[in-house]
Amino acid sequence: MVVHTPERKKIVELIDVSKTFGSNDLKNTVLNNVNLTIYEGDFLMVLGKSGSGKTTLMNIIGFLDRISSGSYSFLGEDVSKLNENKKSEIRNHHFGFIFQQFFLINSLNVMQNVELPLIYASKTNKRERKEAAEKYLDLVGIPEKLTSKTKELSGGQQQRVAIARALVNEPILIMADEPTGALDSETGIGVMELLKELNSHGKTIVMVTHDEDLLKYATRVIRMQDGSFMEEGALV
């Protein structure tokens, strides 16, 4: 079993959380009284079949959707008490998002894509932004692509740009929804090795996957079924 010592910082704490879409006859309970604490340093993988609520859970954790009942604390703050401005501010400063389809902006070059979260977080010093973009493109292994157009990159390179973009604000939590879903398995392994490396340096990661082969990269695994979670034993 993973022993969570009290000193480990709680980043996310969901208590008795339910999420329901629709109403009355069309009510669809996607999360049913779930409890989940994400601690600093976790590499948490979320598995479950299509429609089991994985993205819904990610959206809730990332302040993109609201819970129907229960409580959500982020770094000890009750999320339901935060207004939209404060939520955006926290999202911009503390979360890094990685998606299956990368979501790079094709009209911007690689560096400009990586700089975007800094612009959203009102970090206006151009030189500092460039230095940060360079640092993280170097970290993800594609420093030479700084001025490339995103369309000129392979899928694996595009995902590396997206990872650099997710890291540039030095977020406390990386949220990755099927980050290897659009990549061939070899390229996907490269991306997983990179995420593992980031986690071994202390970065907290929550990742959704369908791929059982990727569980070995995680420190915790939860499976979603019928609105509930099952946590597996220790993996490392």
Ligand X SMILES: Nc1ncnc2c1ncn2[C@@H]1O[C@H](COP(=O)(O)OP(=O)(O)OP(=O)(O)O)[C@@H](O)[C@H]1O
Residues 6+ apart with CB under 8 A from 187: 154, 155, 156, 159, 180
Instruction: Read off the tokens for 159.
Output: 């995902």
Q: Which of 16, 51, 101, 213 binds ligand X (CB under 6 A)?
A: 51
Of the pair 115, 178, the CB lying nearest ligand X is at 178
Q: Identify residues 25-44 at the interface with ligand X (CB under 6 A).
A: 28, 30
Nearest of 46, 39, 52 to residue 206 by alpha carbon: 46
Task: Give the shortest CB-55-to-Mg ion separation in angstroms.
Answer: 3
> How far is 127 from 119, CA to CA, in rounded Å?
12
> How far is 144 from 22, CA to CA, in rounded Å?
48
Task: Give the shortest CB-59-to-Mg ion separation in angstroms.
Answer: 9
> How far is 168 from 135, CA to CA, in rounded Å?
8
> How far is 38 from 204, CA to CA, in rounded Å?
9
> How far is 11 from 94, CA to CA, in rounded Å?
10
Of the pair 19, 220, the CB lying nearest ligand X is at 19
52 binds, among Mg ion, ligand X, none (CB under 5 to 8 A by kind): ligand X
Q: Which stretch binds Mg ion (CB under 5 A): 47-55, 71-79, 89-97, 218-226?
A: 47-55
Longest dimension (CA), the chain: 56
Write down the residue that tokens 């995902």 correspond to. Answer: 159
Q: Which of 34, 54, 98, 115 binds ligand X (CB under 6 A)?
A: 54
| 209 sits near Mg ion (criterion: CB under 5 A) | no
Of the pair 27, 201, the CB lying nearest ligand X is at 27
Encoded amino acid at 6, one letter: P
Q: Which of 53, 96, 156, 179 binds ligand X (CB under 6 A)?
A: 53
Q: Which stretch binds ligand X (CB under 6 A): 47-55, 67-75, 102-110, 163-171?
A: 47-55
Residues near Mg ion (CB under 5 A) = 54-55
Residues near ligand X (CB under 6 A) = 21, 28, 30, 48, 50-56
